[in-house]
């Protein structure tokens, strides 16, 4: 009998699962507080960034106190006999996004071997209060075995917890990964182009690759707003656009260590930038990690590594046109 199904039947229904999730979340938020008040200073050669831990605890205590707890640990995602180097596609997703995950699995997130790399996807998910969404996620996890579920609730600010918890998960459960692509489920990803890029880039394992935002301005309005009390400075450190970037596994230990002393910033891509700065790691910018603004032309997708904000139907059309119908002269390996 299925793992989740057994637990649900033995405890009287799906309600028990959600009740347990909420209890675990409250316990987690109350337990084991992180670093106490203090200030962290991070110079980047141009600006010295200051993070006041007391301000983060005052405004976002739930981000600082949370300790990563997996409800679905994803034990088997990276297991297997020794073989080609592993490119792990780590995809931030929401329990409600079952259609997006299904499209990804049919197209760019299919497991296989590609140009000398083993490609495997993992979907990084928090908890939804909607039982129907969680039931669908349970079925997916049982069928595909590619879900990691933590016991925090999905929200805009809690995306930073996915960054923090994912670093621990990789270190503990996926040491086999050689490179990790971090992205979202609402985009087109091009693993053949990523593999070609890795094979052609000298010292690819020494830097973090992405569309690097250089000293982006701090927003005080919109959903990306940050208060002056939390972060009074006008500029952020450099960070890779959260829509998609590549990191070598060699960077994970330093990033995980940095996450132990850096307050959890409420914007996930900026938070990652602080971790990179604290770790002393370097970037390599490449515009083929598209954020927005690319013309919607099939052959341009073949040149891109990732294109953010693509509809599900268009993802299917692009994948079919590039790699099944071969309507563009795309150079690169084919997934097998």
Q: Of the candidates 215, 187, 197, which has an alpha carbon nearest to the alpha carbon of residue 273?
A: 215
3-state secondary structure of 257: helix
Q: What per-residue confidence (pLDDT) applies to 293?
A: 75
In the chain, where do the E strands start and end? 39-43, 48-52, 70-72, 86-92, 112-114, 117-127, 147-153, 177-184, 187-189, 208-213, 239-248, 283-285, 306-308
Q: Is the pLDDT score of 1 beyond 90?
A: no
Residues shown for the chain: 336
Structure tokens given for 92: 């931030």
pLDDT reported for residue 42: 97
Mean pLDDT, range 169-189, rounded to an integer = 95
Q: Confidence class of residue 331 from pLDDT cuts 50, 70 and 90? A: low
Q: What is the mean pLDDT of the chain?
A: 88
pLDDT at 28 exceeding the cut of 50: no
Dist. CA 100–CA 118, nearest whole Å: 22
Q: At 99, list the tokens.
A: 């259609």
CA distances to 96, 219, 266 from 223, rounded to whole Å, are 20, 9, 11
For 239-271, write each residue's pLDDT tens digit.
999 789 999 999 999 999 999 999 999 999 999
* pLDDT value of position 21: 45
- In the structure encoding, which two tokens stand for residue 328, read together? 């563009």
Over residues 275-290, the mean pLDDT reads: 96
Give the span between the Cα atoms of 248 and 9, in whole angstroms.
42
Q: Is the pLDDT of residue 165 over 70?
A: yes
Mean pLDDT computed over 111-116: 92
Nearest CA to 215 out of 277, 300, 148 is that of 277
In the prediction, which pLDDT does 109 show? 97
Ranges of beta strands (E only) in 190-238 are 208-213
- How far CA 2 is from CA of 5, 7, 135, in Å, comes to 5, 9, 13
Largest separation between any pair of C-alpha atoms in the chain? 59
Residue 4 has pLDDT above 90, yes or no: no
Residue 207 has pLDDT above 50, yes or no: yes
Rounded Cα distance between 193 and 304, Å, is: 7
* Half-sphere CA count of 257, side-chain side, radius 13 A: 10
Give pLDDT tens digits for 35-67. 445 789 999 999 999 999 999 999 999 999 999
State which of 3-7, 27-31, 282-286, 332-336 shows the largest mean pLDDT.
282-286
* Three-state SS at 235: strand
Query: What integer pLDDT is reported at residue 199 of this predicted model?
Result: 94
- Tell me the domains of the chain and their CATH numbers: 3-73+84-324 (3.90.550.50)
Q: Give SS3 for 298.
A: helix
Q: Hey, is 227 helix, strand or coil? A: coil
Alpha carbon distance 193, 236 (integer Å): 30
Q: Do residues 129 and 123 lie in contact, with contact meaning Cβ atoms separated by under 8 Å?
A: no
More confident residue, 7 or 103: 103
Instruction: Quickly state the pLDDT bin for 336 (edges 50, 70, 90).
Output: low
114-149 tens-digit pLDDT: 999 999 999 999 999 999 999 999 999 999 999 999
Cite the beta strand spans of 186-238 per DSSP E.
187-189, 208-213
Nearest to 246, CA basis, from 286, 279, 298: 286
Give tens-digit pLDDT for 82-93.
889 999 999 999
Confidence of residue 309 (pLDDT cuts 50, 70, 90): confident
Residue 30 has pLDDT above 50, yes or no: no
**Do 7 and 17 contact (CB within 8 A), yes or no?**
yes
Tokens representing 231 are 């972060």
- Can you tell me the distance from the alpha carbon of 255 to that of 31, in angstroms, rounded to the nearest whole number? 23
Cα distance between residue 175 and residue 79, in whole Å: 10
Backbone angles phi, psi at 274, to 5 degrees: -65, -40
- Tell whether the model's pLDDT for residue 31 goes beyond 80: no
Asked whether the CA dihedral 91, 97, 100, 101 is positive or negative, the reply is positive
- What lies within 8 Å, CB to CB, of 62 at 6+ separation is 29
């Amino acid at each position: 009998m299925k793992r989740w199904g057994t637990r649900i039947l033995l405890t009287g229904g799906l309600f028990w699962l959600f009740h347990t999730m909420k209890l675990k979340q409250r316990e987690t938020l109350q337990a084991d507080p992180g670093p106490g008040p203090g200030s962290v200073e991070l110079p980047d050669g141009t600006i010295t960034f200051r993070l006041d831990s007391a301000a983060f605890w005052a405004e976002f205590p739930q981000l600082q106190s949370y300790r990563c707890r997996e409800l679905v640990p994803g034990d088997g995602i990276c297991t297997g006999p020794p073989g080609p180097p592993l490119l792990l596609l780590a995809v931030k997703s929401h329990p409600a996004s079952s259609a997006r995950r299904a499209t990804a699995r049919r197209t760019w997130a299919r497991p296989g071997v590609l140009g000398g790399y083993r490609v495997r996807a993992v979907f990084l998910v928090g908890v939804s209060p909607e039982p129907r969404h969680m039931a669908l996620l349970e079925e997916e996890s049982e069928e595909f075995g590619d879900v990691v579920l933590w016991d925090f609730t999905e929200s805009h600010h809690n995306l930073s917890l996915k960054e923090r918890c994912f670093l621990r998960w990789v270190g503990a459960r996926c040491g086999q990964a050689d490179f990790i692509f971090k992205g979202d489920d609402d985009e087109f990803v091009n693993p053949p182009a990523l593999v070609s890029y890795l094979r052609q880039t000298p010292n690819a394992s020494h830097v973090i690759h992405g569309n690097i935002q250089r000293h982006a301005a701090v927003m005080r309005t919109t959903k990306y707003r940050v208060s002056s009390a939390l972060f009074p400075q006008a500029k952020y450190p450099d960070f890779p656009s959260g829509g998609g970037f590549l990191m070598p596994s060699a960077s994970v230990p330093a990033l995980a260590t940095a996450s132990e002393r850096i307050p959890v910033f409420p914007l996930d891509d900026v938070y990652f930038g602080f971790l990179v700065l604290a770790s002393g790691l370097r970037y390599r910018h490449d515009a083929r990690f598209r954020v927005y603004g690319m013309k919607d032309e099939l052959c341009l997708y073949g040149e891109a590594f990732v294109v953010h904000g693509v509809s599900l139907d268009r993802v299917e059309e692009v994948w079919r046109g590039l790699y099944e119908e071969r309507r563009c002269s795309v150079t690169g390996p084919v997934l097998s």
